[in-house]
């Protein structure tokens, strides 16, 4: 019985496919796989917007929205109706074609990456051999759409926001990919389904998730920080800078296109969280072997919701990083840390199992973290200015 509930969506799809003529079966199979993604993740986006506003409100000693629906949970409907009925303003000197395409491209890129994420046992849209590579390749399309938005709006502020945004996103791509390399090394495969299957085994009641190893834990932290920066979320939301340049690269967008940017950004956040869950937190696997009777997709979404709460929590806690602090952090701390993490994972792989490898790898990682952060904190020395022509 638990297996039936676990596989209920797969069985439902197979049953529906029996009623489809053979010629149309590939097309219908594709459509039936894709429709749940298109329904569930925008719904999750709607719930997340209201949860975020209420969560931030409670952190800031106030109620969140509580007028629309019970405890304000129909607020996304009100927001959706508002964004649909707003006038679509395009600056006269804007590049209309690119201006229109930018949010479309963002949403396409954000939806496309869900194809390789296993939501449950046997529940993945496309079981690619190089799933992780596909994820990062398509995820980079987001930066392109950000720049399209900033450039086509023909406005100084949006261009400035776009430049900052792509600088930030490209800088944080490196630690993002490098911290996932450790998992690829340990699993020996680029396929997301295989990675999760390898983590779904247990010794006693404890699972084999990669986050429970020193290099996995570090990789997870680095991946989450880079994911926060990739989605332009606090504390890395300098490009958006709600209180500074109002909306940054999407300042000239109104109405539904603005809602599409919002949707694209949140979907990117869900996608990178889901990838973190797949790589480090065991995907759809249960945390204790006694809990495997709970369906796999329930575990996946529980972990996703936990990570979303952590995102909201961090947003309510930390102030925004300045642009130079952000870039220094990426290049001088995260990149060396992720490289050292790879070295640590390699040492782990070649040492025999036991206390020794835990100690050595943990020491390497902690020591390098402390030393790197100390070097970041060193104050800059200011020299006396020398003017070449005005003597």
Q: 120 or 235, CB closer to other proteins?
A: 235
Task: Give least dist CB 311 to other proteins, A.
Answer: 12
Residue 72 or 295: the one with the smaller Cβ distance to other proteins is 72
Contact indicator for 330, 229 with CB cutoff of 8 Å: yes
Query: How far apart (Å, rounded) are the C-alpha atoms in residues 266 and 260?
Result: 10
β-sheet bridge partners, residue 123: 120
**Cβ–Cβ under 8 Å, residues 41 and 114:** yes
Tell the smallest beta-carbon distance from residue 361 to other proteins (Å).
16
Q: Choose between 30 and 366: whose C-beta lies nearer to other proteins.
A: 366
Rounded to 10 deg, the angle between the 96-112 and 141-152 helix axes is 160
Cα 43 to its chain centre, rounded Å, is 17
Least distance from other proteins to the Cβ atom of residue 313, Å: 6
Nearer to other proteins, 25 or 375 (CB): 375
User: Strands, E, within 97-256: which ranges?
Assistant: 202-203, 206-207
Q: Output the smallest distance, CB 316 to other proteins, in A.
A: 5
Among residues 340, 312, 148, 116, which one has the least CA distance to residue 231? 312
CB–CB of 180/279 below 8 Å? yes
For residues 147 and 220, which CB has a smaller minimum distance to other proteins in the complex? 220
Bridge partners (DSSP) of residue 202 are 207
- Residue with Cβ nearer other proteins (162 or 330): 330
> Which residues are near other proteins by CB under 8 A?
55, 58-63, 313-314, 316-318, 366, 369-370, 373-374
Token representation of residue 176? 């993002």
> Least distance in Å: CB of 234 to other proteins?
12
Tell me how far, at minimum, the Cβ of 71 lies from other proteins, in Å: 12
């Amino acid at each position: 019985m638990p297996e039936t509930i676990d596989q209920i969506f797969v069985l439902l799809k197979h049953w529906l496919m029996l009623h489809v003529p053979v010629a149309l079966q590939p097309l219908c199979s594709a459509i039936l796989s894709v429709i749940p993604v298109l329904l569930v993740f925008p719904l999750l986006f709607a719930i997340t917007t209201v949860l975020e506003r209420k969560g931030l409100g409670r952190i800031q000693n106030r109620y969140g929205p509580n007028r629309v629906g019970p405890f304000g949970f129909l607020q996304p409907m009100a927001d959706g109706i508002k964004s649909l009925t707003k006038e679509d303003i395009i600056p006269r000197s804007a590049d209309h074609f690119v201006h229109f395409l930018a949010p479309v491209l963002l949403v396409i890129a954000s939806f496309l990456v869900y194809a390789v994420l296993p939501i449950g046992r046997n529940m993945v849209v496309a079981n690619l051999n190089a799933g992780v590579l596909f994820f990062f390749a398509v995820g980079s399309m987001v930066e392109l759409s950000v720049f399209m938005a900033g450039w086509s709006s023909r406005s100084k502020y949006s261009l400035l926001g776009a430049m900052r945004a792509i600088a930030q996103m490209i800088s944080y791509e490196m630690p993002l990919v490098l911290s996932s390399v450790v998992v690829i090394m340990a699993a020996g495969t680029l396929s997301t389904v295989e990675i999760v299957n390898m983590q779904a085994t247990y010794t006693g009641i404890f699972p084999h998730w990669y986050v429970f190893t020193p290099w996995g834990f570090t990789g997870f932290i680095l991946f989450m920080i880079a994911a926060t920066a990739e989605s332009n979320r606090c504390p890395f939301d300098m490009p958006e800078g709600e209180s500074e340049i109002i909306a940054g690269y999407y300042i000239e967008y109104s109405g539904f296109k603005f809602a599409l940017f919002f949707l694209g950004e949140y979907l990117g956040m869900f996608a990178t969280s889901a990838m973190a869950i797949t790589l480090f937190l065991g995907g759809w696997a249960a945390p204790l072997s006694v809990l495997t009777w709970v369906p796999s997709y329930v575990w996946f979404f529980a972990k996703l919701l936990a990570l979303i709460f952590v995102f909201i929590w961090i947003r309510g806690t930390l102030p925004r990083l300045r642009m130079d602090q952000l870039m220094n952090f990426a290049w001088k701390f995260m990149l060396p840390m992720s490289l050292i993490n790879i070295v640590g994972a390699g040492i782990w792989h070649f040492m025999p199992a036991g206390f020794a490898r835990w100690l050595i790898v943990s020491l390497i990682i902690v020591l390098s973290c402390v030393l790197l952060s100390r070097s970041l904190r060193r104050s800059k020395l200011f020299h006396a200015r020398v003017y070449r022509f005005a003597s």
